[in-house]
Homo-oligomer: A and B are copies of this chain.
Amino acid sequence: MKAALYGYGTVGRGAAEALEKSGIEVARVLGIGTMPELGDRFTTDINDVLADDSISIAAECIGGYEPAHSYLKASLESGKSVVSSNKQMISRYLRELVSIAREKGLSIAFSAAAGGGIPWLPNLIRCGEADDITGLGGVMNGTTNFILDEMQSGGRDFGDVLREAQALGFAEADPSADIDGIDVRAKIAISADLAFDGFLDPETVPALGIRFITMEDVENFRKLGLICRLTGRAERTESGAAAYVEPMLYAAGSAEWALPGAGNLISLESEKYGKLSFRGPGAGRGPTGCNVALDIIDIAQGRCIFDRVNCQKDIVNGTDEVLRRYYLRGDIDGIGFSAERRAGSGVITEPVSVSALHSAASAIIEKGGKIFAASLAE
């Protein structure tokens, strides 16, 4: 059995290492520039892979929309099953790529696109075979969890910790994807697609991040016995499903509360299971590489659980149907939600719809205001 890797950065190298045990040969690596250590296996031309019929699986670890998307499409069209670790691209093109794979009788798997090294997506699909998923989500971004943890356990300022994370290389120079919840948006959209078997456009997922959290908020939470985690959440609603990203406040002693550092914790809720949680490394060469390798191995052995996925029907994001209580602090005069009680220098609102809260908060931020909003976890 032969596979090709598209991209040979952190994840691609991790995948190659994790395939060593399996007996699957990485026959080709597509990259840019030169990689003398790969010898003849290295190429910069996708056609070298597409034309090679001995390669039956191609795994993409490039990231971004293009050329990742066209490479996977071309690979499927040339008869190869595909694997991807690319949340951004998969969240946008899932329906199209699944549809081509089904037509051709090929597999497409993407465990590493949500949860990094946690086997979250395959278990979500598998549990859905016996039970109806009612809700899911959790802490899906390690960088923001590291920042929040340092603030809440270490008493350090947001800016300080962000700069440290950037220096350590696990926050980007432009930190927006992490701290504004864009990364989690793609992951929760993909999770919702699989849980509710449809396609939810990630652009419709409202996201509030942690850009404006201050030590004042942390102190307010501490007095309430709560801890803040940036959370992706999707749930079944009366008319369909809803997905959103926002900071949430968790009670002392909960599983989310006991999640230090860059850890991830993702859960599903279902009628028969109750709550089932998966906790582990949400990123990194070893773990994410394993998730890519395991998808390849599953396909090679004919037991890819993603083959059960269809995801063709539209999911309209019904965040107007979901009500939550929010902690608010900052430029909130005239925001128009009644406060149920005070919370230090902030307030806790009465239950309001997720869509109304996100719209109001985004409008304030767009006008240059600063607001920190976090919902109370159930």
Residue positions of A touching B, CB distance < 8 A: 14, 17-19, 21-22, 117-119, 122-123, 126-127, 129-132, 253-255, 257-260, 271-281, 284, 286-287, 289-290, 293-294, 297-298, 302-305
Query: 11 more A-B contacts (CB under 8 A) besides A127-B294, A274-B286?
Result: A18-B130, A117-B276, A119-B276, A122-B126, A130-B294, A253-B260, A254-B258, A258-B258, A276-B287, A277-B279, A302-B303
| In contact, B274 and A289 (Cβ under 8 angstroms) | no
| In contact, A127 and B119 (Cβ under 8 angstroms) | yes
| In contact, A290 and B305 (Cβ under 8 angstroms) | no
* Alpha-carbon distance between A17 and B270 when the two chains are bound, in angstroms: 14
Q: A275-B280, A277-B280, A279-B279 are in contact. Are A127 and B290 (CB under 8 A)?
A: yes
Residue of B nearest to A293 (CB): B130
Chain B residue contacts of A277, Cβ below 8 A: 277-280
* Alpha-carbon distance between A305 and B126 when the two chains are bound, in angstroms: 12
Chain B residue contacts of A293, Cβ below 8 A: 130
* Alpha-carbon distance between A223 and B260 when the two chains are bound, in angstroms: 22
Partner of A130, one of B130, B132, B278, B290: B290
Residue of B nearest to A275 (CB): B280
Residue of B nearest to A252 (CB): B258
Chain B residue contacts of A17, Cβ below 8 A: 272
Chain B residue contacts of A254, Cβ below 8 A: 258
What's the least CB distance linking A312 to chain B, in Å? 19
| In contact, B303 and A22 (Cβ under 8 angstroms) | no
Chain B residue contacts of A259, Cβ below 8 A: 255
Q: List 23 A-B contacts (CB under 8 A).
A: A17-B272, A18-B272, A19-B130, A22-B130, A117-B273, A117-B274, A117-B276, A119-B127, A122-B126, A126-B294, A129-B294, A130-B290, A130-B293, A253-B260, A255-B255, A271-B286, A273-B280, A273-B281, A274-B281, A277-B279, A278-B278, A279-B279, A303-B303
| In contact, A290 and B272 (Cβ under 8 angstroms) | yes
Chain B residue contacts of A127, Cβ below 8 A: 119, 290, 294
Residue of B nearest to A273 (CB): B287
* Alpha-carbon distance between A287 and B127 when the two chains are bound, in angstroms: 10
* Alpha-carbon distance between A127 and B21 when the two chains are bound, in angstroms: 11
* Alpha-carbon distance between A258 and B254 when the two chains are bound, in angstroms: 6
* Alpha-carbon distance between A287 and B14 when the two chains are bound, in angstroms: 34
Chain B residue contacts of A278, Cβ below 8 A: 276-279
| In contact, A272 and B258 (Cβ under 8 angstroms) | no
What's the least CB distance linking A176 to chain B, in Å? 28
Chain B residue contacts of A131, Cβ below 8 A: 18, 21, 286, 290
* Alpha-carbon distance between A278 and B130 when the two chains are bound, in angstroms: 18
Residue of B nearest to A126 (CB): B294
Chain B residue contacts of A118, Cβ below 8 A: 276
Chain B residue contacts of A281, Cβ below 8 A: 273-276
* Alpha-carbon distance between A281 and B304 when the two chains are bound, in angstroms: 26
Residue of B nearest to A22 (CB): B129
Residue of B nearest to A276 (CB): B280
What's the least CB distance linking A15 to chain B, in Å? 9
What's the least CB distance linking A49 to chain B, in Å? 22
| In contact, A279 and B280 (Cβ under 8 angstroms) | no
Partner of A21, one of B129, B279, B294: B129
Chain B residue contacts of A275, Cβ below 8 A: 280-281
| In contact, B279 and A255 (Cβ under 8 angstroms) | yes
